[in-house]
Amino acid sequence: MQKQLAKMKQSLFDQGYLDEQFIQLEDLQDDANPNFVEEVVTLYYRDSVRLVQNIEQALEKNPLDFSKLEGYMHQFKGSSSSFGAKKVKTECTQFREYCRAGNAEGCKRTFQELKKEYATLKKKLEVYFQLARQAGPVEKACRPK
Amino acid sequence: MMDLCGFSSPRSDCFPAGLRVLVVDDDPTWLKILEKMLKKCNYEVTTCNLARDALDLLRERKDRFDIVISDVNMPDMDGFKLLEQVGLEMDLPVIMMSVDGETRRVMKGVQHGACDYLLKPIRMKELRNIWQHVLRKRIHEVRDIEVEEIYTMRNVTEQQSDDGYLFSGDLITGKKRKDTTANKNDDSSSSKKSRVVWTVDLHQKFVKAVNQIGLDKVGPKKVLDLMGVTWLTRENVASHLQKYRLYLSRLQTENELKATLGGIKSSNIYSEDHSSVNVCLQNPLSQNSVTMQQKIVINESSKNLNQKDNSKICEENMNGIISGPMSKTKKALLGDVNDPMKSNTSRLSFGHSLPKIEVQSWQEEKSHFQAEKPRVASIEPSYGNTKSPGIERVTKVESTAALFSVQPQFIYRHAFENNLFGGVAGPSYRLWEDELNCFSSQGVSNPPYADYGCYGSQELIADVPYHSLNFDSEYTSDSLEYPVIDQGLFIA
């Protein structure tokens, strides 16, 4: 099972869903917080719901308030970077670029992409964590290549 | 751990373990992660997700924390502002964090006194080293006191000094003083007692004493004696005097800048993008927020300001940092700033803004500051200023802040300015006071507070002692200057 877990993690990294920060968090896991990463990710998804809603509402306005959107995205990016959500982060950066360029279409399009990545990652991590719980304590030395 | 410059408090045995850290971040995910990381470093962690709460915590027990780490983007208060307040009021090292690593942002952090600026995602190894900032700050404090003493000695030499103690004591300079201060540091955390909170009142007394003695003749002991504050020590005064001098010299530089500068339009100065500009947004969410700091664009390229209407330029910070090499640019900028201010005066019509502007113009003209009682209303920095872009310029929050409660700070600045420029000494301070009185009578209201958003306003009114924080910006810069300057962080 550990092997399966390791493989899954490797694939998440290879596909660019996660980055080094994820490992940093795993390194923090200990007896006191054996499921630390899962807790963090859960917290993230719960807390970011509000943010996603805010952005959606803001995207419906006309004209768009780019500076506000940029602000939201800044927060989003910050949060996403906390556990290494690589693809989500990339979309955030792209979104901000569009904001700065004042490109409404670009923003809206990017946001759709972002939501997709956001949701995909969530599902994948849910599977991952479930597997992790079943596999028991994971060796920390398990770093993806 | 080996001897850390005389730190011998119980905690110092295992220093940096047990370092008391206050983490402030509105993002719960990061807060959780940072807490865990810091705990792994064996630090004692307290978390906070609101800037206001953080300040409350810090004030509640001044010596409860060793260092503060805060995110730049906070909903209730601009992280930079918090940074200044903490530095000023509590004189603690503050580390800023952000996912944004743009140079100008980082520069802003440094200018506001951050001893470090970390980029998210933050790694463990970065957190492991934060204790260096605590140590460094303490060492600098000792040094500041010593420098001040030397300064004093020079002043005292010429005169008949009944400060026999001061004189002879200081003559033995290095050694003796070092011993004293080293001993003081032995108390390590309890040496916080030397970490005085310079409230408005206290600072006022200080300035009064300084003026009475005359800046050229002033010395810690004399000031202390004049002030008549029994619990204050000579070291406290020496350290404060040191900062005051720096503040004054900074003012001088600014004024020189003003003189040279000439055409920068106020509306142009607010460029957040401008790395040279220190734009201080009091409340990031509020377009109008004005920081208490007076901001003057200080850097070379200050041309493209044009930022959000409400950005304020944080001159304070700039001043501190730029004092040396950048003074030229600053000058240029300053010159410009002053003009608009004057013209703004007439423009300002909102109750609260008006006073400010006037303050500012006088700032240039008078050095009287003798800070009045915090007249919050009158000084509110352009909170409300959204209305007029031009006002932004006026956002010399600093001055406002000064009036606000910040007075001491303000006093510093203006009084000094005048001193430097017009050679006006004590009397000028009084003028300021008169001016202030005028303002007061204008019956400024308190609406700004609302805009202020950050705790500052409300508290300023209610809690006078903390007003000193406002001027803190100035002060903060001062106190935080040390680390910056020492580290040679003159970012040109």
Q: Which two tokens stand for residue B232?
A: 């204050």
Query: Residue B181: how many CB atoms within 10 A of its CB?
Result: 23
What ipTM goes with this model?
Answer: 0.91
Nearest to A81 among B73, B99, B284 (CB): B99
Contacts of B96 (CB under 8 A, 6+ apart): B69, B70, B71, B72, B79, B80, B83, B109, B114, B116, B117, B118
For chain B, the average pLDDT equals 59
Range with top average pLDDT, A31-35, A45-49, B272-276, B480-484: A45-49
**CA nearest to A40 within chain B:** B29
CA distance B119 to B122: 6
Q: Which two tokens stand for residue B140?
A: 């600098």
**CA nearest to A45 within chain B:** B29
Residue-level pLDDT at B261: 64
* Whether A28 contacts chain B with CB within 8 A: yes
Q: Which two tokens stand for residue B431?
A: 């003028």
Residue-level pLDDT at B229: 82
In this complex, how many residue pairs, one in chain A and one in chain B, have their CB atoms less than 8 Å apart? 56
Tokens 């006037």 belong to residue: B358
Query: Residue B259: how many CB atoms within 10 A of its CB?
Result: 14
Q: Which of B81, B73, B104 is nearest to B282 (CA)?
A: B81
Residue-level pLDDT at B16: 82
Contact B432, B362 (CB under 8 A): yes
Contacts for A64-67 with beta carbons within 8 Å, 24 or more apart? A64/A104, A64/A107, A66/A99, A66/A100, A66/A102, A66/A107, A67/A99, A67/B308
The model's pTM: 0.52
Q: Do B284 and A71 touch (CB under 8 A)?
A: yes
Residue-level pLDDT at B262: 52
- Decide if pLDDT at B444 tops 90: no
Convert the pLDDT of each residue in B319-335 to its tens digit.
Answer: 433 333 433 433 433 33
List, as ranges, residues 77-136 from A with C-beta within 8 Å of B. 77-79, 81-84
- Decide if pLDDT at B281 tops 60: no
Residues B283-311 as b/e (b if ≥16 CB within 10 A, e otherwise) read bbbbebbbbbbbbbbbbbebbebbbbbbb
Residue-level pLDDT at B255: 75
Range of lowest pLDDT (B61-65, B98-102, B118-122, B377-381): B377-381
Q: Do B99 and A43 touch (CB under 8 A)?
A: no
What is the least distance, in Å, from the CA of B163 to any CA of chain A?
57
Please tell me which residue, B257 or A98, carries the higher pLDDT value.
Answer: A98
**CA nearest to A25 within chain B:** B33
Residue-level pLDDT at B442: 42
Residue-level pLDDT at A80: 94
pLDDT category at B286 given cuts 50, 70, 90 is very low
Residue-level pLDDT at A1: 77
Domain A2-135 in CATH 1.20.120.160? The answer is: yes
Q: Which two tokens stand for residue B393?
A: 């310029």
**CA nearest to B32 within chain A:** A40
Residue-level pLDDT at B335: 38
Exposed/middle/buried for residue B440 (C-beta within 10 Å: 0-12, 13-18, 19+): middle
- Decide if pLDDT at B417 tops 60: no
**CA nearest to A92 within chain B:** B99
- Decide if pLDDT at B290 tops 90: no
- Decide if pLDDT at B401 tops 70: no
Q: Do A74 and B32 touch (CB under 8 A)?
A: no
Residue-level pLDDT at B333: 38
% of residues, chain B, pLDDT over 70? 40
- Which site among B23, B25, B29, B41 would you substitute to test the A interface, given the most A Cβ atoms closer than 10 Å to its Cβ? B29
- Decide if pLDDT at B471 tops 50: no
Which chain A residues are Cβ-neighbours of B71 within 8 angstroms? 78
List, as ranges, residues 39-68 from A with C-beta within 8 Å of B. 39-40, 43-44, 47, 67
φ/ψ of A49, rounded to 5, equals -55, -45
Residue-level pLDDT at A113: 94
Domain ranges across chain A: 2-135
Which chain A residues are Cβ-neighbours of B29 within 8 angstroms? 40, 43-44, 47, 79, 82-83
H helix runs in B73-230, sequence order? 79-85, 103-111, 124-128, 131-158, 164-171, 173-186, 200-213, 220-227
Residue-level pLDDT at B254: 65
Convert the pLDDT of each residue in B170-182 to its tens digit.
Answer: 444 444 444 444 4
- Decide if pLDDT at B85 tops 80: yes
What is the average pLDDT across B375-402? 38
Amino acid at site A79: S
Convert the pLDDT of each residue in B48-57 to its tens digit.
Answer: 999 999 999 9
CA distance B316 to B348: 23
Q: Do A28 and B40 touch (CB under 8 A)?
A: yes
Convert the pLDDT of each residue in B185-208 to its tens digit.
Answer: 444 444 444 467 777 778 888 888
Q: Which of A74, A37, A45, A87 is nearest to B71 (CA)?
A: A74
Range of lowest pLDDT (A43-47, B68-72, B148-152, B481-485): B481-485
In chain A (145 residues long), the average pLDDT of successive 10-residue segments reads: 89 93 93 92 94 94 90 92 94 93 92 95 94 72 56
What is the least distance, in Å, from the CA of A101 to any CA of chain B?
15
Per DSSP, A63 falls in state S
% of residues, chain B, pLDDT over 90? 13
Which chain B residues are Cβ-neighbours of A77 within 8 angstroms? 99
Q: Which of B448, B118, B404, B397 is nearest to B278 (CA)?
A: B397
Per DSSP, A18 falls in state B
Nearest to A47 among B28, B37, B308 (CB): B28
- Sheet order of strands, B44-48 included: B44-48, B20-24, B67-71, B94-98, B116-119
Which stretches of chain A are assigned E, i.e. beta strand?
Answer: none
CA distance B427 to A22: 63
Which chain B residues are Cβ-neighbours of A21 within 8 angstroms? 121
Please tell me which residue, B13 or B393, carries the higher pLDDT value.
Answer: B13
